[in-house]
A and B are shown apart, each in its own frame.
Chain A
Amino acid sequence: MSTTVRDTALFGLVAVLLIGTGIIQGWNSALLILNMGLISAIMALGVNLQWGFAGLFNIGVMGFVALGGLAAVLVSTEPVPEAWQAGGLRILAGLVFGALTVVAAVQAQKRLEGRVKVIATLIILVGGFFLFRAIFDPAKVAIEAVNPAVSGNLGGLNLPILLSWPVGGLLAAGAAWIIGKTALGLRSDYLAIATLGIAEIIIAVLKNEDWLARGVKNVIGLERPVPYEIDLQQDPGFVERAASLGLDPVTASTLYTKMGYAILFTVVLLILLWLAQKALNSPWGRMMRAIRDNETAAEAMGKDVTARHLQIFILGSAICGIAGAMMTTLDGQLTPGTYQPLRFTFLVWVMVIVGGSGNNFGAVLGGLLIWWLWVQVEPLGLGLMNILSSGLEDGSAVKDWMIQSAAHMRLLTMGLVLLLVLRFSPRGLIPER
């Protein structure tokens, strides 16, 4: 079987799985899985860029995804004028001052020598921290006191939410630049721990800085790029067309909005996939793989390894940020409490490894396939447990326990899939070529 046929067959398998879901569980579920699958595929594309192309071990995907979500809030919500009056400028001043402190400390590190360097850096950092708190804290308190039940934050720019997708990418890229500057010189597993930590910190910031995006009070009811179901149901033209297709207006409207998202997401995915393919097959992509395979040799050829690593780290993180903004758009809300590393970092890694690291199509396939599995394992597990425990009496402790534990099948299955692929097909379903 030629490789093209095999790859097409694998994507055909995903299509069959989705269509099967549509027929058995309803098209709404199938589209729901497809939409998150498309977003997951984009995240996988980002991680594949970093790991597959450059061998960078980033396990802070969750943080970049969350930054994308933050972008969706900051771009699309309406500004809160009272909050801006209460302390908007002051809080910005505080942030600028904080950034300047760090810049000053870095400069002191670079310019000064010996003991003066250490003392100066310490004075700048400690003094800067207290001054920063002195400027920042009153503004934060004032803003969070403005109508805390519905806002208590600065609000956003009131721009179309689609704009937040590129902005999410930029935000993630900015964070990646800072992280890359400090951590990329480190060894691979140190980089891993560093990114893991950064992701936790970003989530902690989102949870606690209520002035930014309301923290754990969540931002709900974000603007949507597709029409609302209720509007569609009241539109006589739409109801008529739905009826001509033999659908009732409610089902038709939900399918219509989900299809809208699916089309938007597919367009983004195709653009990014095209760009990633172009990059992979360009001299730049070959250089990246050369660096990945032998850093020393690449350095001897005059390639600036650290700069190239920084570049691709930023690009991959930006893609994760875009995906994060898209996901928050799809959910219509930002809930920092729901970001968990197993779901947003390690699952994406399973997607990349299973799909095939170093191959963009592999990453996309992994994203779609693993997401389908992640969603379906629970009902499948429940069915399995029902069959296994069917011989037992109703209400017996063992049976209850078996039925309950079906809810925990997901992690176990993902781990087993990852281990089996690593063992028997370490290059993934669609390997690098």
Chain B
Amino acid sequence: MDFLNAIVAFANFVFVPGLAYGAQLAIGALGVTLIYGILRFSNFAHGDTMAFGTAMTIWITWGFLALGISFGPLPTALLALPFGIVATILLLLGTDWAVYRFYREQKASPVILVIVSMGVMFVMNGVVRFLIGVRDIRFADGERFIITAREFKEMTGLNEGLAIKTTQAITVVVALIAMALLFWFLNKTRTGKSMRAFSDNEDLALLSGINPDWVVKVTWMIVAALATTAGVLYGLDKSFKAFTYFQLLLPIFAAAIVGGLGNPLGAIAGGFVIAFSEVTITYAWKKVLVYLMPESLEPDGLVQLLSTDYKFAVSFAILIIVLLFKPTGLFKGQSV
């Protein structure tokens, strides 16, 4: 029984939150890695792209609610998500046309593009603040829990409860759908294949008649969809705040680099690696250990390896370790 309690406590506080967070990071990292693979630069504006997509989705959600439209037990934001994605696609295509296209035609070095993306980051950050302000916004509605801790305890008779939030389940399901669609697109469709060819060898791809403008456009569209989805899922699960999204840049980049920049599979793996390490290292293990250890050995403290404020340190430490020992990431990424 104690062992079961320990497992449930572990699942409740570590596994389920880690899984949801990992899925959010993975979708975010997919966007970063696609831009890196095809446009060949690290996009510092990605966090703010996510924030923009989420802000638009929140506005549309509010519009739906004002019209009396809701999605039953599911959050209304899911209905608004496609519209948010369209808005973000327009924004990114516009940004590419107004800003990035010029440097691409000039064949500017990647580091110049990174600095340009810093400028875009500033502008997008400002736009998001214009749109929705800097407050903390919660926009999840519908049922809060699939199963609450109390129901679980009554059902199983265990001491520990396992609560699963609706948003956590939605995150995992939507993430799976998004990943499946992306891999189907990249592997089965003509455009997807040409994107992969372009990423592998630009010159050869151009030689075989692939239209680079189209590839770039499609990439931005996919990135917009992924960024908005990641942002909305994160916002549903926690809350929306422009500044938090900017800070997500670090774990997202860590995930993309750990997995191998430019490699979509790696981005997903990296997302979960980063998320689970953050959660396990900053979790106070006492709750699990009391069930596993004999009473005499029960820990006095919280058995927390690092305080939660150091979660950046965790993503960072993993990043450095991977870079030092396997510079191309866990899965083989590109190294330019």
Interface residues of A, Cβ cutoff 8 Å to B: 55, 57, 129, 182-183, 186-190, 192-194, 196-198, 200-201, 204, 207-208, 340-342, 346, 349-350, 353, 404-405, 408-416, 418-419, 422-423, 426
Contacts and interface: CB of A to CB of B under 8 A. Distances in A.
B310 A189 contact: no
Nearest to A352: B115
Chain B facing A: main interface SS = helix
B171 interface: no
Nearest to B134: A408
Interface of B: 41-42, 99, 102, 110-112, 114-116, 118-127, 129-130, 133-134, 243, 246-247, 249-250, 253-254, 257, 305, 307, 309-310, 312-313, 315-316, 319-320, 323-324, 327, 335-336
B319 A193 contact: yes
Contacts of A129: 305
A57 B312 CA distance: 20
Given A204-B313, A418-B119, 10 more contacts: A55-B111, A186-B327, A192-B42, A197-B250, A198-B316, A342-B125, A349-B115, A408-B134, A411-B123, A412-B130
A204 B247 CA distance: 13
A419 B116 contact: yes
6 contacts: A189-B41, A193-B250, A341-B246, A412-B126, A418-B118, A419-B119
B252 to A, nearest CB: 10
Nearest to B243: A340
A204 B250 contact: no
Given A405-B129, A415-B125, A422 B309 contact: no
Most chain B CB atoms below 10 A, which of A198, A207, A346: A346
A422 B102 CA distance: 11
Contact of A204 (B118, B120, B305, B309): B309
A416 B335 CA distance: 31
Most chain A CB atoms below 10 A, which of B42, B122, B123: B122
Nearest to A421: B119
Nearest to B98: A419
Contacts of A405: 129-130
B111 A189 contact: yes
B336 A411 contact: no
A368 B120 CA distance: 23
B121 A201 contact: no
Given A182-B324, A204-B309, A204-B310, A415 B316 contact: no
Given A186-B323, A349-B115, A418-B119, A409 B126 contact: yes
Contacts of B124: 415
Nearest to B128: A408
B114 A189 contact: yes
Given A193-B253, A200-B312, A208-B309, A419 B323 contact: no
B130 to A, nearest CB: 5
A411 B335 contact: no
Contact of A188 (B111, B116, B127): B111
Contact of A408 (B102, B129, B247, B310): B129
A405 B313 CA distance: 34
Contacts of A419: 99, 116, 119-120, 123
Contact of A349 (B118, B243, B305, B320): B118
Nearest to A407: B129
Contacts of A182: 320, 324
Contacts of B116: 419, 422
A416 B110 CA distance: 20
A199 B52 CA distance: 25
A363 to B, nearest CB: 15
A349 B44 CA distance: 14
A189 B253 CA distance: 10
A207 B313 CA distance: 13
A193 B254 contact: yes
Nearest to B125: A411
Contact of B110 (A189, A353, A409): A189
Nearest to B305: A129
Contacts of A350: 119, 122
A38 B312 CA distance: 32
Contacts of B110: 188-189
Given A408-B126, A415-B119, A415-B123, A201 B313 contact: yes
Given A204-B312, A422-B115, A197 B122 contact: no
